[in-house]
Amino acid sequence: MSAHPPTAPGAPAFAIVYPGQPGDLTPVTPTQLPHRGGSVNPSVDALRARFGAAVIRHDVVWGETTVYVARDQVATICAWLQSDPSQRYEYLSDVTAVEYRDPMRPIEVVWHLRSIAFRRFLRLKVELPKSGAPLEVPSVWGVWKGADWLERECFDMFGIRFTGHPDLRRILLWEQYAEGYPLRKDFPLRGRFSRAEQLRNALAADPEARYSMEELSITDAFAQLPEDMRKRLGGGTRTGE
Amino acid sequence: MTATKTIEVALSTSGLGPDGRPIRIPLGAEGLTSAPPGLEPEFEGEHMLINIGPQHPATHGVLRLVLELDGETVVRCIPHVGYLHCGFEKIGEYRQYNQIIPWTDREDYLNSMGNNVAFVLGAERLFGVEITERCRVLRVIAMELSRIISHLVWLGTTCIDIGAFTPFLWCFQERENVYKLLEGWTGARLTTSGTRVGGMIADVPDGWTDGLRAFLNGFPKTLDQVDRMLTRNAIWVGRTVGLGVMSPEEALNYGLSGPMLRASGVAYDVRKDFPYLGYETYDFDVPVGTNGDVYDRFLVRFEELRQSVRILEQALARLPEGPVNIDDPRLILPPKHKATSEMESMIHHFKLVMEGPRPPIGECYVPIESPKGEKGYYFVSDGTAKPVRWRIRPPSYVNLSAIPRMVEGHLLSDVIAINASIDIVMGEIDR
């Protein structure tokens, strides 16, 4: 295979356009970045023009632009950033959250967006106050399918609910995990439960339960199984031990 | 000689198709249009639940796939991860920056040196320091060596999954050569912990570059051997072409990165698009596939091995003399003999070890092109010696999340090939 093979007939053609000034074509390793200030990502102005008050403030640290936006507008803003031909943030790098050591500071949900066509990087943030309203933000799963597992991990680790996510459940920890959300600052490093209790819970956990034959809606085949097998699989208990 | 030729002809494909790709030779019962009478009706509509892993050699670690099958066709796939979860990010919040580096080895353990470099790149941006030129080139060498290791392991294990054993031995032999080099440099094969904020753990020892040069002379020959064995091999082509196809739009939308994304035809390589360590000054190509199937992923990774050799040769040619560590007592430990003889150095040593360097308040995310894709560490600092948040952006975690989309509709035996083509490392996925 050559390094850049010509597009074969019938193969999906996907041209990346590199518009703008000639300097755009040869990005260089950034050096001597200022701590605060520096050039602002032009998408900030576009966002302000389009969404007005939903863009709360912006911040440039070490050359990276962070935009704080209103919680209920996140999905709309993301959809616009992804599809607008002047923005083209087609790549979602990361979804995560930050909780500060200062208990009064709100939890931040962070989206790292990347525009491959324009070679831009944008960080979106939503602040969720810890008191009062539940920790909820709109899901961006409808915009980028890649958000699926990232949002599930964020829910698993911080307990932030992404409304509109099709299958929001724990991913790295098991579903019956009862100790809380590990990356929260009030969660001790060694966990909430004693070692003995952790062991007891782990042994009592039933990881098969959710994926029994019934859950997977293959009931036709299930109904024809012998009585004892149906009982065993339907209950989701471990087999053959 | 004649015997060799006959075998090669029999094993290679019948040539290239109109699109310039090897023609796929159908394996197994693809020509069979209907099942033998009397068998088909009984099984129709009956689905089977099958569980692959977490203890299965072809899942490359402790991945568990719950598959719903209609005959041999996958109707639904539900992946389960988390069996290796040990809370790296939580532990990182309780450690100073240099103390986190050993955790980065153990996360994507095939790319440990690359992770070390990625970590300190982020930390250095957070501290606002610029490294020396020699350190820059040495880090490029470290990253490309670990890319070679990672791709060789991928190639070898994928061969085993699909049924070829010989290339596995060739790949692992070469991998051992790279590990010998890393061992000579850092003292460890896998868990290198080779970097420090502001420099490296050590400069390369005397004669090390000769060893690297010798490796670079021999390695392309092995690549040619593997190339001859696999690229036109009828079995290899038959088992990989047309599997797990992702269109470019879909691949972007699913957040795929690295060879997975490039095999689909999106020319996005962090080294070119958001360069670091002066990658823009090296002359190398980014291979891009056209069809986005397992075969294209193989071709892309294989070409990346050759490109890594090119980068390494250029890095060796330009490796400048000079210090490896920056001259900053805030970050770099004083030499041992000074720490035991001079009062000031001793104080620096004590403060650095006991309290750790403090970055200013801020946050940063520096992505690198790891062998699996875009990997980045996101740091948030509140001005203390330990990060408020240390986030790993795991490329193979996001790549794996697309596996239901890739395997559904394929045969059970193809699930193994598609899963192998993602190049997952469970240490990175579960963290």
Residue ranges of domains in chain B, CATH in brackets:
88-430 (1.10.645.10)
Q: Are residues A218 and B67 in contact, defined by beta-carbon separation less than 8 angstroms? A: no
pLDDT for position A79: 92
Q: Answer whether A179 touches B (CB < 8 Å).
A: no
* Angle (nearest 5°) at CA A132 between A126 and A138: 35
| Residue A116 CA to its chain's centroid (Å) | 19
pLDDT over 50 (residue B102): yes
Q: Name the least confident of B3-17, B190-204, B387-401.
A: B3-17
pLDDT for position A19: 39
Q: B280 vs chain A: nearest CA distance in angstroms?
A: 6
Secondary structure element (H or E) that encloses residue A27, with its range: none
Helix pair angle (B294-318, B412-422), 10° resolution: 20
Tell me whether residue A11 is in a domain. Answer: no
Return the C-alpha torsion angle A139, A149, B240, B218, nearest 10: 120
Q: Name the least confident of A23-37, B4-18, B111-125, B339-353.
A: B4-18
Tell me the C-alpha distance between B17 and B295, whole Å.
15
Tell me whether residue A147 is in a domain. Answer: yes
As a whole number, mean pLDDT of residues A56-82 equals 91
**In the structure encoding, which two tokens stand for residue A159, read together?**
């307990």
pLDDT for position A192: 84
Higher pLDDT, residue B158 or B16: B158
As a whole number, mean pLDDT of residues B391-399 equals 92
Sign, CA torsion B384/A122/B371/A169: positive
Q: Answer whether A40 touches B (CB < 8 Å).
A: no
pLDDT for position B221: 92
pLDDT tier, B329 (very low <50, low <70, confident <90, very high otherwise): confident
Q: Are residues B391 and B354 in contact, defined by beta-carbon separation less than 8 angstroms? A: no
| Residue B236 CA to its chain's centroid (Å) | 22
Tell me the C-alpha distance between B240 and A30, whole Å.
40
Q: A203 vs chain B: nearest CA distance in angstroms?
A: 14
As a whole number, mean pLDDT of residues B420-430 equals 90
DSSP single-letter state for residue B388: S
Contact (CB<8Å) B303/A1: yes
Q: Name the least confident of A220-224, B217-221, B416-420.
A: A220-224
Give the residue on A whose Cα is nearest the Cα of B401.
A149
pLDDT for position A2: 35
DSSP single-letter state for residue B191: -
pLDDT for position B340: 87
Report the residue from B85, B388, B402 with minimal CB separation from A172. B85
pLDDT tens-place string over residues A78-89: 999 998 888 889
What strand order describes the sheet that includes B47-52?
A: B47-52, B64-70, B73-80
pLDDT tier, B4 (very low <50, low <70, confident <90, very high otherwise): very low
pLDDT over 60 (residue A70): yes
Higher pLDDT, residue B235 or A234: B235
**In the structure encoding, which two tokens stand for residue A166, read together?**
């099709």
Q: What is the largest CA-CA distance in chain B?
A: 91
Contact (CB<8Å) B255/A14: no
Contact (CB<8Å) B265/A11: yes
pLDDT over 80 (residue A76): yes
Which of A24, A29, A101, A219 has the most B C-beta neighbours within 10 Å, making it the best mutation to test the interface with B?
Answer: A29
Contacts of A225 in chain B (CB under 8 A): none
Q: Answer whether A219 touches B (CB < 8 Å).
A: no
3-class DSSP assignment, residue A68: strand
pLDDT tens-place string over residues B107-122: 889 999 999 999 999 9
Cα–Cα separations (whole angstroms), residue B105 to A61, B32, B127, B430: 28, 49, 22, 14
pLDDT tier, B25 (very low <50, low <70, confident <90, very high otherwise): low
The count of domains in chain A is 1
Q: How many CA atoms lie within 13 A of B19 on its CB side?
A: 14
Tell me whether residue A17 is in a domain. Answer: no
Q: Are residues B62 and B356 in contact, defined by beta-carbon separation less than 8 angstroms? A: no
Tell me the C-alpha distance between B172 and B175, whole Å.
5
Tell me the C-alpha distance between B187 and B207, whole Å.
15
Residue A155 sits in a domain whose CATH number is 3.30.460.80
Contacts of B23 in chain A (CB under 8 A): none
pLDDT over 60 (residue B47): yes
pLDDT for position A78: 92
Cis peptide before A166 (omega within 30 of 0): no
For residue A92, the enclosing domain spans 33-172
How many contacts, defined by CB atoms under 8 Å, are there between A and B? 196
Report the residue from A1, A148, A172 with minimal CB separation from B401. A148
Contact (CB<8Å) A100/B126: no
pLDDT tens-place string over residues A143-195: 999 999 999 999 999 999 999 888 888 888 877 778 889 999 988 888 888 88
DSSP single-letter state for residue B16: B
Q: What are B367's strand-pairing partners? A: B376
Contacts of B397 in chain A (CB under 8 A): 149, 153
Give the residue on A whose Cα is nearest the Cα of B76.
A216
**Which residues lie below 8 Å from residue B395, measured CB to CB, with a gap of 6+?**
B257, B258, B370, B372, B373, B374, B375, B428
Q: Give which of B198, B150, B139 is closest to B332, Cα–Cα.
A: B198
**Which residues lie below 8 Å from residue B166, measured CB to CB, with a gap of 6+?**
B159, B229
Higher pLDDT, residue A11 or B348: B348
pLDDT tens-place string over residues B36-45: 555 444 445 6
pLDDT for position A17: 38
Contact (CB<8Å) A216/B49: yes
Tell me the C-alpha distance between B171 and B151, whole Å.
9
Q: How many CA atoms lie within 13 A of B194 on its CB side?
A: 33
pLDDT tier, B315 (very low <50, low <70, confident <90, very high otherwise): very high
Contact (CB<8Å) B376/A173: no
pLDDT tier, B13 (very low <50, low <70, confident <90, very high otherwise): low
CB-count exposure of residue B272 (10 Å: 0-12, 13-18, 19+): middle
Contacts of A174 in chain B (CB under 8 A): 82
Q: Name the least confident of A99-113, B64-78, B286-300.
A: B64-78
Residue type (1 letter), A51: F
Higher pLDDT, residue B18 or B227: B227
pLDDT tens-place string over residues B221-248: 999 989 888 888 888 888 888 888 888 9
Mean pLDDT rounded to a whole number for chain B? 86
pLDDT for position B141: 94
Q: Give which of A124, A127, A64 is closest to A94, Cα–Cα.
A: A124
This complex has an ipTM of: 0.85
Q: A65 vs chain B: nearest CA distance in angstroms?
A: 10
Tell me whether residue A83 is in a domain. Answer: yes
Which of B270, B277, B398 has the most A C-beta neighbours within 10 Å, making it the best mutation to test the interface with A?
Answer: B398
- Global model pTM greater than 0.90: no
Contact (CB<8Å) B85/A10: no
pLDDT tier, B32 (very low <50, low <70, confident <90, very high otherwise): very low
Return residues 75-114 of A near B (CB < 8 Å).
90-94, 96, 98-102, 110, 112
Q: Are residues A184 and A159 in contact, defined by beta-carbon separation less than 8 angstroms? A: yes
pLDDT for position B309: 93
| Candidate ranges A4-8, B41-45, B230-234, B319-323; pick with highest mean pLDDT | B319-323
pLDDT for position A67: 94
Residue type (1 letter), B216: L
